[in-house]
Chain A
Amino acid sequence: DQQVKQNSPSLSVQEGRISILNCDYTNSMFDYFLWYKKYPAEGPTFLISISSIKDKNEDGRFTVFLNKSAKHLSLHIVPSQPGDSAVYFCAASTGGFKTIFGAGTRLFVKA
């Protein structure tokens, strides 16, 4: 049972444009959501997070939106840069404890 789903395995975007990565979840008990970025053969690095009491969190070029009624969150990267090319994992946790990851979306930013 996949509690966190990233239905797009890959996304290709032109440099300077907006990248939108989507994530859906099924467990209404999740109260904290995170996005991680991962390069090959490395551990994920934390990017941005959002608590379930908010609907938006912004950090520089990265903004995460949360729609609790739809159990959907998205990561917006604008403007996209070639260095943003990586695999992005959406993750969710309950009480900040066990974190469940989505399958990841590979982002390609073309110069």
Chain B
Amino acid sequence: GAVVSQHPSRVICKSGTSVKIECRSLDFQATTMFWYRQFPKQSLMLMATSNEGSKATYEQGVEKDKFLINHASLTLSTLTVTSAHPEDSSFYICSARDGRREGGTEAFFGQGTRLTVV
């Protein structure tokens, strides 16, 4: 299947600092990228959807000024957690799909990023 690379896999940061997470599609063009957050023993919660070259669409309850999403190219999207606080500690996962591809509409996931804010 298609490959999506997410970096870093783990990050520990101090409260009040910002952290950037990158998501790259390595062998296909990602017209759409999704960012999810997963709390322990819970499902993947969709945070936002971004289409290449346009502003991200955030889900209800997700602060767009806190979770900045950039999808400037067809192979790269970034999520920046600004002024991180301990409650932002979580597992963040990106997924990407090529909406122009015929057939299945499955998205491919990155490996996830474990963020710990201390």
Report if B25 contacts A (CB, 8 A): no
* A98 neighbours in B (Cβ, 8 Å): 34, 46, 49
Supposing A41-B114, A43-B93, A43-B110 touch, asked if A93 and B105 sit within 8 A by C-beta, the answer is yes
Q: Which of A14-22, A44-52, A66-74, A78-86 contacts B (4 or more CB under 8 A)?
A: A44-52
For A47, the closest partner residue in chain B by CB is B106
Assembled-state Cα–Cα distance A22/B61 (Å): 29
Q: Report A52-111 residues with CB < 8 Å from chain B CB.
A: 89, 93, 95-104
Which of B34, B43, B91 has most A Cβ within 10 Å? B43
* B97 neighbours in A (Cβ, 8 Å): 96
Number of A interface residues in the complex (CB < 8 A): 22
* B49 neighbours in A (Cβ, 8 Å): 97-98
Q: Per-residue 0/1 for A16-39: is the Cβ within 8 Å of any B Cβ (1 yes, 0 no)? A: 000000000000000010101000
For B112, the closest partner residue in chain A by CB is A43
Report if B8 contacts A (CB, 8 A): no
Give the interface SS of chain B, mostly helix, strand, loop or mixed. Answer: strand
Q: Which of A36, A42, A49, A99 contacts B104 (CB 8 A)?
A: A49
* A100 neighbours in B (Cβ, 8 Å): 46
Report if B107 contacts A (CB, 8 A): yes
Q: Which of A46, A89, A93 contacts B1 (CB 8 A)?
A: A46
Number of B interface residues in the complex (CB < 8 A): 26
Which of B's residues lie within 8 Å of A, judged by CB?
1, 4, 6, 32, 34, 36, 42-44, 46, 49, 91, 93, 95, 97, 99, 104-112, 114
* 28 residue pairs bridging A and B, Cβ less than 8 Å apart: A36-B109, A41-B112, A42-B111, A42-B112, A43-B4, A43-B109, A43-B110, A43-B111, A43-B112, A44-B44, A44-B93, A44-B95, A44-B109, A45-B109, A46-B106, A46-B108, A49-B105, A49-B106, A89-B44, A96-B97, A96-B105, A97-B32, A97-B99, A97-B105, A99-B46, A101-B46, A103-B43, A104-B43
Beta-carbon contact of A99 and B34 below 8 Å: yes
Assembled-state Cα–Cα distance A102/B32 (Å): 21
* A99 neighbours in B (Cβ, 8 Å): 34, 46, 95, 107
